[in-house]
């Protein structure tokens, strides 16, 4: 049972990336704008291609996507965002990575420090927990969507590194360079993904129970509620019964 994918699954079930569509759009637009700084051609810019695909999956209007790309390439005026990763600890000493894009680093640092301390965690120094995570393509599929043997053969042939049993779901891990090929293979096979992203995946997990688990989830939700926060990753694990109570 993997803490990261469990949290990703909880977010999917609750719509907890954010219930407000406008906020989802805001985060996607920021990601497109930042990605487009490296070039506005989706065929030559993998990060931009992934960001645009995510925006289309949320039914973002094409004009919004186009303007975000143009702001990133400098064709249109726009806010300049800085990408920063902050590190910290939650209840039980679990590791947390917070990826932000901000136009005011001092404001963001102050807000995140307050959120950590208010919710049972604390900010760490740069490098304190980052070494516990690897960048991976991370794809979650409901158990009902595919049989293990069929899925294993399909994704490994497409270049995936591993397929894990994650309770109610399958978790597929890939090298970032193989992520798009594996995603396309699943799409061609008609297999729907619950969550699909290039993420920071922890090498190992720390299980939390009872009040510590509840506090940890409140901390993650509070961090994700910050407008500057793009992604939150953690190495916490939670038992199935408590997971169902939270996701319910």
The C-alpha angle with vertex 201 and arms to 52 and 40, in degrees rounded to 5, equals: 20
The reply to whether 132-202 shares the fold of 3-73 is: no
Q: Is the pLDDT of residue 96 over 80?
A: yes
Q: Which residue has the higher pLDDT, 165 or 182?
A: 182
pLDDT of residue 112: 97
Q: Are 116 and 123 in contact (CB under 8 A)?
A: yes
Angstrom distance (rounded) from CA 50 to CA 183: 11
Q: With cut-offs at 50, 70 and 90, classify the pLDDT of residue 2.
A: very low
**Alpha-helix residue ranges (DSSP H) falling in 159-205:** 179-188
pLDDT of residue 9: 61
For the chain, give every domain's residue range: 3-73, 82-129+205-247, 132-202
**Token pair in block for residue 104:** 């005011």
pLDDT of residue 22: 62
* Domain 82-129+205-247 fold: Alpha-Beta Plaits (3.30.70)
Residues 220-246 pLDDT 10s: 989 988 889 888 999 988 876 766 666
Nearest Cα residue to 101 out of 226, 15, 233, 235: 226
pTM (2 d.p.): 0.79
Residues 129-181 pLDDT 10s: 999 999 999 998 989 999 999 999 999 999 999 998 887 789 999 999 999 89
pLDDT of residue 25: 83
Q: With cut-offs at 50, 70 and 90, classify the pLDDT of residue 3.
A: very low
Residues 105-128 pLDDT 10s: 999 999 999 999 999 999 999 999
Residues 15-74 pLDDT 10s: 545 555 567 788 889 999 999 998 999 999 988 998 998 888 888 999 999 999 999 998
Angstrom distance (rounded) from CA 118 to CA 113: 9
Residue 238 bridge partners (DSSP): 208
Superfamily grouping for domain 3-73: Integrase, N-terminal zinc-binding domain (1.10.10.200)
* Residue with token string 């999956």: 57
**Helix-strand-coil percent breakdown of the chain, rounded to 5?**
50, 25, 25
* Residue with token string 């975000």: 68
pLDDT of residue 227: 85
pLDDT of residue 7: 63
Nearest Cα residue to 229 out of 94, 124, 116, 70: 116
Counting Cβ atoms within 10 Å, is residue 54 exposed (0-12), middle (13-18) or buried (19+)?
middle
* Domain 132-202 fold: Alpha-Beta Plaits (3.30.70)
pLDDT of residue 244: 65
């Amino acid at each position: 049972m993997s803490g990261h994918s469990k949290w990703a699954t909880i977010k999917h079930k609750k719509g907890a990336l954010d219930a407000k569509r406008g906020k989802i759009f805001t985060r996607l637009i920021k990601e497109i704008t930042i990605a487009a700084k490296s070039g506005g051609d989706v065929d030559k810019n993998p990060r931009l291609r992934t960001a645009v695909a995510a925006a289309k999956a949320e039914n973002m209007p094409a004009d919004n996507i186009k303007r975000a790309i143009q702001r990133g390439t400098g064709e249109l005026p726009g806010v300049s965002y800085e990408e920063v990763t902050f590190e910290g600890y939650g209840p039980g000493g679990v590791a947390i990575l917070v990826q932000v894009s901000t136009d005011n680093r001092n404001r963001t640092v102050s807000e995140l420090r307050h959120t950590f301390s208010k919710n049972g965690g604390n900010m760490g120094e740069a490098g304190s927990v980052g070494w516990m995570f690897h960048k991976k393509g991370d794809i979650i599929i409901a158990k009902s969507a595919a049989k293990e043997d069929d899925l294993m053969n399909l994704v490994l042939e497409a270049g995936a590194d591993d397929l894990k049993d994650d309770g109610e779901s399958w978790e597929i891990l890939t090298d970032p360079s193989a992520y798009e090929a594996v995603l396309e293979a699943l799409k061609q096979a008609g297999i729907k993904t619950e969550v699909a992203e290039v993420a920071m995946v922890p090498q190992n997990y720390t299980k939390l129970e009872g009040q510590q688990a509840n506090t940890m989830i409140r901390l993650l939700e509070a961090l994700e509620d910050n407008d500057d926060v793009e992604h939150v990753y953690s190495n916490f694990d939670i038992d199935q019964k408590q997971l169902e109570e939270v996701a319910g």
